[in-house]
A and B are shown apart, each in its own frame.
Chain A
Amino acid sequence: MNRGHIVIDDVVKVYDPQGAAVLAVDHCSLEIEPGEICMIVGPSGCGKTTLLNAIAGFHEITSGRIVMDGEVLCSTEKPKSVPGPDRIVVFQNGALFPWKSNLENVIFGPVVQGKLARKDAIDKARAMLADAGLAGVERNYPGEVSSGMRRRVEIVRALMNDPKALLLDEPYRALDSLTKSVMHEALLEIYYKNKVTIFFITHDLEEAIFLGHRVAIMTTRPCKPKKILNVDIAHPRDYGVLTSKRFRELIEETNDAVHEEALKAFQAGEKEG
């Protein structure tokens, strides 16, 4: 397992450099190991999504560089990386195409890339959906199934591209806490089968510690790692972890750091989102 090694090296992002010059990411460095679940925790609007957009290739960086598996995605000289199927984003509000059935959504990547014939893509999609417990919703439109189901379909759609890394941007933010805990176990189950690097943004500390190998707690704007926590709870994990002593200790260890940044963000009046 040596795909999906991401190095974020001294990345700076300034929005509107000629005008307001908002420093969103400040000399941020972070290394994500192949196959690691790296959780990024920070208050809303702290700049963590900016970092994700830089990796995905949706936004430019101002300076620094991001390297994946030896390939420079973006750097000071080439500020915007080219989006590609090796790094797929799962969005906060979901981005399944509402006009395509779930199955058609899932086969989208391989078919447009011409990597698989339509028929083979359908076979593979059926197998993967069934594997994720989604066999029943193939023919439905995304609008016809629950938001939890939609997120799972979207993750399956991402995995169909055989990516090196999944970039998840608060994918469970809109879900209630009970659905969330179901989704966490489902995500881990998918992860154990498809060991892919996961870059997961959240503002929920419990979610972060439950899922992650490591948790990077970010400072509020400008964004950079404030504290990095190694979660020494063995995988595979299930929801029983939530009540374990070690889990509670880790929460206690990091809670202050998170709360401090949340307070700063609140006082700065950062907009949520």
Chain B
Amino acid sequence: MKKMLSNPDFWRGAASIAVFLILWEIGSRSKQWMAPEFFSPFKELLGAMGFKKDYLPWVGAVPAPSAVLQSWIGVLGDAGYWQSWYMSFFRVMGGFVTAMIVGIPFGLMLAVSRVSHGIAFPVFEVLRPIPPLAWVPASIIFWPTQESAIIFITFLGAFYTIVINVLGGARSIDVRYFQAAQSMGSSRWDMFRRIVLPGTLPSIVVGSAVGMGITWEVVVAAEMISGGGSQIGGTSGGGLGFFIWNSYIGGSYEQIVVGMISIGIAGYASSEMLRWLGRYATPWLKTR
């Protein structure tokens, strides 16, 4: 803690967040200070550029951070808000862990076996460019519950990235390591266990970190589109994505921002946890 306080980077970060919040506050309040006439030249200008004159984009339309904070304090005691956190985390972790369990062995199989690469890779490559969100209708039809549909979509978000990273990582292991292991009498299984697996670990860590980011992007959109599995816990059981959508429908604009920042924090916490696990799994890399 003491170390953190004496680190200039910490203070730079704190100052940057503070300045951002102050500018945002000023921007949001600008509408109160400025007379509507003040904006009229801009409206004329926009009109000349071919836009509609009756709407001027202005940061004043976004709720101020002070109002957001107030609204946030309001929902902190609300079980529905925490239920949203829980639901989104549950879906992200469900999709992500499944993607690791399926994706890592699959990627390794593609890397190690030429036959399975030949059979499975073309199909994989055709499916990969399909964005997870394009799967929403199909998976709602296919999966028995909306919950499983959402988890499936988050799974897809992480799966492709993890597979591609594992495959690339396993393939870029220096051939010298295989030659050295071979000349020291390793069997094929030894080579896999002692060379391929640890050699791929750094790529697994990178792939997971990227995959985790994508899962958060995907889960929120899936919750919004599918109505958040609202039959589970009413409007409050829909996760953070549905929390935002619901706030928008209900006209509570401060809560929209509360939901957005909550996702930011949740994503950051997940990545930080993965980075920690990654450092733990690949201790030899810290020396580079």
Number of A-B contacts (CB under 8 A): 66
The answer to whether the Cβ of A109 comes within 8 Å of any Cβ in the partner chain is yes
Q: Number of A interface residues, CB 8 Å?
A: 25
How many angstroms from the CA of A95 to the CA of B173 in the assembled complex? 11
Q: Report if A108-B287 is in contact (Cβ < 8 Å); known contacts: A58-B179, A95-B177.
A: no
Task: Specify which chain B residues have a CB less than 8 angstroms from the CB of A157 in the assembled complex.
Answer: 184
Q: Are A112 and B187 in contact (CB under 8 A)?
A: yes
Pick from B183, B198, B287: contact of A97, CB below 8 A: B198
Q: Which residue on chain A has the smallest CB distance to residue B283? A: A141
Q: Report if A91-B180 is in contact (Cβ < 8 Å); known contacts: A84-B185, A85-B185, A109-B185.
A: yes
Pick from B181, B182, B282: contact of A99, CB below 8 A: B282
Q: Are A144 and B287 in contact (CB under 8 A)?
A: yes
Pick from B190, B194, B199, B288: contact of A143, CB below 8 A: B288
Task: Specify which chain A residues have a CB less than 8 angstroms from the CB of B176 in the assembled complex.
Answer: 91, 93, 95
Q: Are A113 and B199 in contact (CB under 8 A)?
A: no
Question: Nearest Cβ distance between residue B105 and chain A, in whole angstroms?
Answer: 19
Task: Specify which chain A residues have a CB less than 8 angstroms from the CB of B199 in the assembled complex.
Answer: 99
Q: Are A99 and B284 in contact (CB under 8 A)?
A: yes
Pick from A57, A93, A108, A144: contact of B181, CB below 8 A: A108
Q: Are B174 and A95 in contact (CB under 8 A)?
A: yes
Q: Are B182 and A143 in contact (CB under 8 A)?
A: no
How many angstroms from the CA of A58 to the CA of B175 in the assembled complex? 10
Taking CB atoms and an 8 Å cut-off, the chain B residues in 171-215 that contact chain A are 174, 176-177, 179-187, 190, 194-195, 198-199, 201
How many angstroms from the CA of A43 to the CA of B203 in the assembled complex? 37
Q: Are B194 and A88 in contact (CB under 8 A)?
A: no
Q: Which of A99, A141, A143 gathers the greatest number of chain B CB atoms within 10 Å?
A: A99
The answer to whether the Cβ of A133 comes within 8 Å of any Cβ in the partner chain is no
Q: Are A88 and B284 in contact (CB under 8 A)?
A: no
Q: Which residue on chain B has the smallest CB distance to residue A90? A: B180
Q: Are A99 and B198 in contact (CB under 8 A)?
A: yes
Q: Are B198 and A85 in contact (CB under 8 A)?
A: no
Pick from A57, A99, A141, A144: contact of B183, CB below 8 A: A57
Q: Chain A 99-122, CB within 8 Å of chain B: the 1/0 string?
A: 110000000110011000000000
Question: Nearest Cβ distance between residue B180 and chain A, in whole angstroms?
Answer: 4
Q: Are A108 and B184 in contact (CB under 8 A)?
A: yes
Task: Specify which chain B residues have a CB less than 8 angstroms from the CB of A112 in the assembled complex.
Answer: 181, 184-187, 190, 194
Q: Chain B 156-180, CB within 8 Å of chain A: the 1/0 string?
A: 0000000000000000001011011
Q: Are B287 and A89 in contact (CB under 8 A)?
A: no
Please name the 5 residue pairs, one residue from A and one from B, whose CB atoms are nearest each other, closest first.
Answer: A109-B184, A99-B198, A95-B180, A95-B176, A113-B185
